[in-house]
Structure 1
Amino acid sequence: MKLKILVIEDDPFISEIIQLYLEKHEFEVTIASDGEFGLDSFYNDTYDLVILDIMMPKMDGWEVCKRIRIDFETPIIMLTAKGETYDKVKGFDLGVDDYMVKPFEPEELVARIKAVLKRTSSGFSAKECVTYPSLTVNLTEYRVYLNGQEIDMPLKEISLLYYLASHPNRVFTRQQLIDVLWGFEFDGDPRTVDVHIKRVREKIKDNPSWTLKTIRGVGYKFEVVTNE
């Protein structure tokens, strides 16, 4: 069962980025665009963690946090543009579990979420690993093994291989891969995906059971051969 995260954030661009990255890591995400709606959403369902902005319309994050903490110990990560020590101390005094300042790296937010859940949720397992004949990609440890031997591979190549391998036989365009792995802010050449795919292929080759396949004019997929 996927763990559920409530994101209370009034900036739709930031919410979209957070949702994209969290769903990439197999979380179920609900978005609320203001404090009142966020609090209603929280009361109407059960969540494993809340990501909470401070400066929002209708009800700010401080008030939302106070009300949640009256009856619940659900983990809360504050996500805000304020970085002053006073604001951090206030957040921790209210029972916030962690605090991130905008602008932020989505992968760092995911890492912090996993760290908080590991401390607070007995149902959370941080292990992210896909295994196929002769190939293992462990995103938790950022390691790739081919025929039992570790392959030297940069983090971005490992992330790319893991993402494709964790969605077998699904085709992704270059732009989709850019959005997920490089972020919406990336303004470089989309062909950078081609370069990374080429490097990954050189290191893992192909296998009779699977292959990293190019779909001409579209993008790429991790093709898995099924014996039917």
Structure 2
Amino acid sequence: MPVSGPAPRILVVEDEPVINQALTDRLRGSGYDVVQAWDGPGAVAQFAATAPDLVLLDVMLPGFDGHEVCRRIQAERPVPVLMLTARDDEADILVGLGVGADDYLTKPFRMRELVARVAALLRRVERAAELAARSATDLGDLRVDAASRRVWVTDTEVHLTPTEFDLLLCLAGNPGVVLTRESLYAEVWGWSGASGTRTVDSHVKALRAKIGADRVRTVHGVGYALEPGSGT
């Protein structure tokens, strides 16, 4: 479905010309303004020159890889990043999330799903103001301040990526309550799609590494809950 209003600008970074053009054509057909890059240095230059609203970023690129591209552009200006990877490897995915990627798709993927995830990430940006309106939350020695988007564990500030923060904020709004992976994906990423639940799992793993592994309880086959006053 074509977008309404001013067309969001998307930077497509993919070194295979046929794939790059296919992505570009599909996104333009959906109403987006699209600019292209084919390698790491070109992606960073295009980002600075065109100020896109979202970046569609392949991991394997000439020059330097997508992880380095993501790190550099996020240092310049926070922007939603959807990474495309040929490797369904958790360690590789966690590297991408650690440098600021919001979501990922493993090749091969359906164009319809890619367009849906792009739309969901753009909607999520619009919802940031709603999340910021929530008050600060104190859960034992864990403090989450929605307005300033800052987190402290035992009085030490912890630096989270935008997606990690939104995930924590969602869990903190329902302390002790088990939230399904599907509901978390819908709430944080803005799209109900079962294929996105592995994204939730990967972000939870990254979040645990920063706030303490025992703070987020896993209920196998269901989802996750934030445990008040716990942590390691």
If the length of structure 2 is used for normalisation, what is the TM-score? 0.51
| 4+ residue runs over 4 A deviation | none
CA contact (8 A) 1:6 1:47 kept: yes
CA contact (8 A) 1:77 1:96 kept: yes
1:8 and 2:13 correspond: yes
Which one of 102, 106, 112 corresponds to residue 107 of structure 2? 102
Identify if the C-alpha distance between structure 1 residues 43 and 83 changes in structure 2 by more than 3 Å, giving closer, same or farther.
same
* Structure-to-structure mapping, 1:119-198, within 5 angstroms: 119-121=124-126
SS of residue matched to 1:107: helix
Question: Percent of counterpart pairs with the same letter?
Answer: 40
Equivalent position of 1:82 in the other structure: 87
CA contact (8 A) 1:48 1:121 kept: no
Greater radius of gyration (CA): 1
Aligned residues: CA RMSD:
1.5
CA distance in 1, matches of 2:98, 2:28: 30
Could you say which structure has the higher helix fraction?
2
Equivalent position of 1:129 in the other structure: none
CA distance in 1, matches of 2:47, 2:99: 17
CA distance in 2, matches of 1:97, 1:9: 18
SS of residue matched to 2:64: coil
* Runs of 5+ unmatched residues, structure 2: 1-5, 128-232
1:22 and 2:21 correspond: no
1:50 and 2:67 correspond: no
CA contact (8 A) 1:55 1:61 kept: yes
Which one of 28, 35, 40 corresponds to residue 35 of structure 1? 40
Identify if the C-alpha distance between structure 1 residues 35 and 121 changes in structure 2 by more than 3 Å, giving closer, same or farther.
farther
Aligned residues: 123
Per-residue Cα deviation, 1:78-105 (whole angstroms, up to 9, x for no partner): 0121111111111111111110111111
Residue 20 (structure 1) shift: 1.4
Q: In the alignment, residue 122 of structure 2 is paired with which amino acid?
A: L
Q: In the alignment, residue 56 of structure 1 is paired with which amino acid?
A: L
CA contact (8 A) 1:17 1:106 kept: no
Which one of 37, 59, 62 corresponds to residue 64 of structure 2? 59
SS of residue matched to 1:44: helix
